Amino acid sequence: MTDTIQPRNTPLRSSRERLPLIAPARFGSSTWLLLLRWFAVAGQLLTILTAGSLSQVELPYSPLLGLVALTAITNTFYGIWLYTLKPIAPVGHGSIDGAIEIQTNRHRDTESKKLHGVALTLMLLDLLTLTAMLYCSGGAGNPFSFFYFVNLAVGGVMIRPKAAWSLTVTAIAGYTFLLNDSVPVEGLDIFKPHGFDIQTGGLMLAFATCSSVVTYFVTQTAGELKQRERQLLRSQAEQAASQRLEGLTTLAAGAAHELATPLSTIDVIVRELSRHLEGWEKPESVDTDLKLIDGELDMCRQILQRMRSAAGDSMAQRWDQTTVGDLIDQTLEGVRDPHRVDVTDGTAAVEGQPLWVPQEAVAQAVRNLIHNGLDASGETGRVRVEPQLISEHLQISVIDSGQGMSQEVLGRASDPFFTTKEPGRGIGLGLFLTRNVISKLGGQLEFRSALGQGTEAVVTIPLGNQKNSPMQSD
């Protein structure tokens, strides 16, 4: 049910993008975790060596260096694992067919979950390693016990909020353990384990409170930043789509304008030639050719009319106060073969639902779907139009009786200049422009189809946001 220009597919990249020392940048926070753990290894080594050479503190070097080695070894394997993961080709709009895109998105989701799980495991291991190192070097009295908060802050940024709280619980448990048991080190025995008392309880409560506050605010801030990033990306995508639409409509309007004059001239000449040849003896093929030229000119005029309509009415500046019933009536006024279109009458509430919309633009958008349905249904097939009110949304379904679309075609149905119609029946802009009209109203255009079962195009327009739209009434 789509408007046959077949754009070339962008080939999937088969080569692996690799960096010599760190994991590919596409892993985002996983790469940062890898680097931070290397910094932690370097900092721990520097601290241990400095404490041993510049102070009188006697540290148990063997277990401390063993724990540092554990972090280094696990981080080495982590880096190798990231380095060897199979890259996923980026998915661009219209770059690959729908089935591959769905498979790619699933692969990406699976990889994201795997990366998150490994990162959480490593962060939990780092907390346990920090607890063990503090246990061997004075326990809660060691000034480096404040690094619990560093781990919690990093975890709050890099992993999901619910998982971040597991780090908080682990840190509280580790600090509580250190308050009650540790290997004493001269000079670092500020808090000597002596059972639970008011001091121990106060330290536990203070640490638990601080840990919870840090985790809460870091995860909330990180969540808001991610949400703003998604909004920015969405805004950029909408702006790019708007610019692409503007360029296409300008191209369509210019082509329609430039072609109108020569076609009109040809039409006049053909009619004059037909009139001059009346009454003259001529081969029957001449009349046949003249009728063929006239028919082709009529087809060209229809194409130009569709191009003008797409360019001029794709998103009209004038908004109208109307109803669902009036919108459907205006949609049907310009439909070819209206006797093949069945409209399911809605209830009085549906028909009388008030709307603030650019009526002609929306009518043209739905009309495009009806025409596509008529084309897909053959010469005798029928198209059904069903308006409904569903949860503060107007839903208009256009259901054809054609052969349906494959998943590959569904994935590219709204791409500009993509069409499955025979040459001369469409230029592949109808669904692209229709989707842009609906999306600018805050709505959606969805397709439900399977081969041999026809296609259902569903237009959904929210009713609640219309009163805030920049509109002009009649």
Do 470 and 329 sit in the same domain of this protein? yes
What is the pLDDT at residue 10?
Answer: 37
Range of the domain at 57: 25-243
Do 56 and 198 sit in the same domain of this protein? yes
Is residue 454 scored above 90 in pLDDT?
no
Least confident residue range of 103-112, 272-281, 286-295, 363-372:
103-112
- Flag whether 142 is in a domain: yes
Q: Residues 387, 394: contact at Cβ < 8 Å? A: yes
For the chain, percent of residues with pLDDT exceeding 90: 15
For Cα atoms 366, 370, 373, give the angle at the middle one, nearest 5 degrees: 140
- Where does 364-426 show beta strands of DSSP type E? 383-389, 393-399
Picking from 184, 218, 243, the residue at the C-terminal end of a domain is 243
Is residue 153 scored above 60 in pLDDT?
yes
Q: What is the DSSP letter of 464?
A: T
pLDDT band at 195 (very low <50, low <70, confident <90, very high): low
Count of all residues that appear for the chain in the document: 474
Q: What is the average pLDDT score of the chain?
A: 76
Do 239 and 320 sit in the same domain of this protein? no
Torsion, Cα of 46, 49, 50, 51 (10° steps): 120
For Cα atoms 140, 127, 145, give the angle at the middle one, nearest 5 degrees: 25
Dig out the tokens for 78 from the structure. 């982590």
Is residue 95 scored above 50 in pLDDT?
no
What is the pLDDT at residue 201?
Answer: 84
Residue 158 is which amino acid? Answer: M
Dig out the tokens for 465 from the structure. 């946001």
Which residues neighbour 405 within 8 Å (Cβ) at sequence distance 6 or greater?
A: 1, 2, 413, 420, 447, 449, 451, 455
Average pLDDT estimate for 391-402: 88
Picking from 224, 243, 262, the residue at the C-terminal end of a domain is 243
The pTM of the full predicted model, rounded to 2 decimals, is 0.52
Average pLDDT estimate for 338-366: 83
Is residue 131 scored above 90 in pLDDT?
yes
What is the pLDDT at residue 174?
Answer: 92
Do 168 and 49 sit in the same domain of this protein? yes
Alpha-carbon 300 to chain mean position: 38
What are the tens digits of pLDDT across the range 226-243?
889 888 888 887 777 667
What is the pLDDT at residue 171?
Answer: 93
Cα gap 367→300, rounded to integer Å = 20
Q: Residues 361, 323: contact at Cβ < 8 Å? A: no
- Where does 211-370 show beta strands of DSSP type E? 320-323, 341-343, 354-357
Is residue 12 scored above 50 in pLDDT?
no
Is residue 20 scored above 90 in pLDDT?
no
Do 226 and 348 sit in the same domain of this protein? no
Do 229 and 322 sit in the same domain of this protein? no
Cα gap 406→15, rounded to integer Å = 29
Picking from 243, 269, 286, the residue at the C-terminal end of a domain is 243
- Flag whether 255 is in a domain: no
Is residue 252 scored above 70 in pLDDT?
no
Please report, in angstroms and rounded to a whole number, the separation of the first and last CA atoms in the chain: 35
Number of domains comprising the chain: 2
Is residue 319 scored above 60 in pLDDT?
yes
Is residue 466 scored above 80 in pLDDT?
no
What are the tens digits of pLDDT across the range 164-187?
999 999 999 999 998 888 887 776
- Flag whether 85 is in a domain: yes
